[in-house]
Amino acid sequence: MATQKTNINDIAIKTGLSISTISRVLNGKAEEYRIGKKSQQMINEVAEELKYIPNKFAASLRTGKSNTVALIIPSLQNPFFADLTSIINAEIRKFGFTTMISDSDENLEIEKKELQQMISRNVDGLIIVPNGNQWGHIKSVYNRGLPVICIDRYFEDSEIPFVSTDNYEGAYSATKHLIDNGHSKITCIQGVQHSTPNKLRVKGFRNAMEEAGLHDYTVTGDDFSLQNGYLETKLLLHQKQMPTAIFTLSNTIAMGCMKALKEMNVRIPEDVSLITFDDHPYLDYLETPLSCIAQPVNDISKIAVKFLFSQINNEGNKNKQVLLKPQIILKKSVRRIV
């Protein structure tokens, strides 16, 4: 048999005080309405005794605010997005808000449905890592006045605010590092092809190669996943001539790549050099620590939350779009070819 929840009427009956007085105390407005300390103490004690839990949904209907922010990401299995989620959730909590988190599974239709579900719950703002190159559903809620921030992935020709890494610069510097170490035959294993970060990373890779007069390179792959890295590397290993270096566009792709190399007894960096986009602590504990392009995850998360709450509180310019500089971290996975 279901247990009936305690409501304000139950507290009113036990204390003999009015519903409006109880509501004001429980909503932190006792001082504003000059409610006596004795009454406040009585209400709080009875509420605790009856195990009263406020109905946030009902409160949001009354006030039009839920003190909730929606966060939609492509995959919690990806360490990069997991880190973003953890930091963003902690930052949002500092504002006294709750984060409603959704994993869209790299699927545009799921993203659209999840967004509608979030909106129906009266969220006060949205932070999103978009899946595809369609942004009408996001622009629609933004145009209706919902505070929105895109992170990592964004839309170049839209006014929707975003915080991301300078992906072009990161990929260009990684490729240049390989070239400076004597590599000329390089393969790039990419992620989701239509995503803005992937397109800019591929562009940075191609431009660095072309500027060096190197045309013997390959761009392959279609997903930011271990499976993609594994399968594409397996295919590379069956070619007559292996590349001397591989550039993976995420650390998940890199892990799949390393698994395939290990199965075929291909050593890093003795047989093939490897550099990846995205840093993560586990990269230091691998048999060969991976050189990488580190995104400023902490800064991206904190700036995005700051921008979002400036929109929620109607402070300053809401159309902020920021690219942060990545850092190349050199470890032991790139061999110099003499």
Position 297, amino acid:
V
Instruction: Name the class of domain 167-295.
Output: alpha beta
DSSP H or E stretch at residue 22:
helix 19-26
Architecture of domain 67-165+297-326: 3-Layer(aba) Sandwich (3.40)
Which one is predicted more confidently, 20 or 204?
A: 204
Q: Do domains 67-165+297-326 and 167-295 have the same CATH topology?
A: yes
Per-residue pLDDT at 184? 95
The count of other CB atoms within 10 Å of the CB of residue 93 is 12
The answer to whether the peptide bond before residue 269 is cis (omega within 30 degrees of 0) is: yes
And the tokens for 305? Answer: 């939350």
Per-residue pLDDT at 156? 84
Per-residue pLDDT at 149? 96
Per-residue pLDDT at 130? 94
Q: Cβ-count burial of 266 within 10 angstroms (0-12 exposed, 13-18 middle, 19+ buried)?
A: middle
Say if residue 57's pLDDT is above 80. no
Task: Say which range, 24-28, 31-35, 77-81, has the weakest mean pLDDT.
Answer: 24-28
Average model confidence (pLDDT) across the chain: 91
And the tokens for 44? Answer: 């709080």
Per-residue pLDDT at 55? 61
Per-residue pLDDT at 336? 97
Euclidean distance between CA atoms 337 and 57, whole angstroms? 63
Say if residue 171's pLDDT is above 80. yes
- Which tens digit of pLDDT belongs to each residue from 117-129? 998 888 999 999 9
Q: Please check whether residue 79 is in contact with residue 254, taking contact to mean a CB–CB distance below 8 angstroms.
A: no
Instruction: Name the class of domain 8-54.
Output: mainly alpha
Per-residue pLDDT at 2? 43
User: How does residue 262 score in pLDDT terms, banded at 50, 70 and 90?
Assistant: very high
Domain range summary for the chain, segments of one domain joined by +:
8-54, 67-165+297-326, 167-295
**Max intra-chain CA distance, the chain:** 88
Say if residue 60's pLDDT is above 90. no
- Which tens digit of pLDDT belongs to each residue from 2-23? 456 778 888 889 899 998 898 8
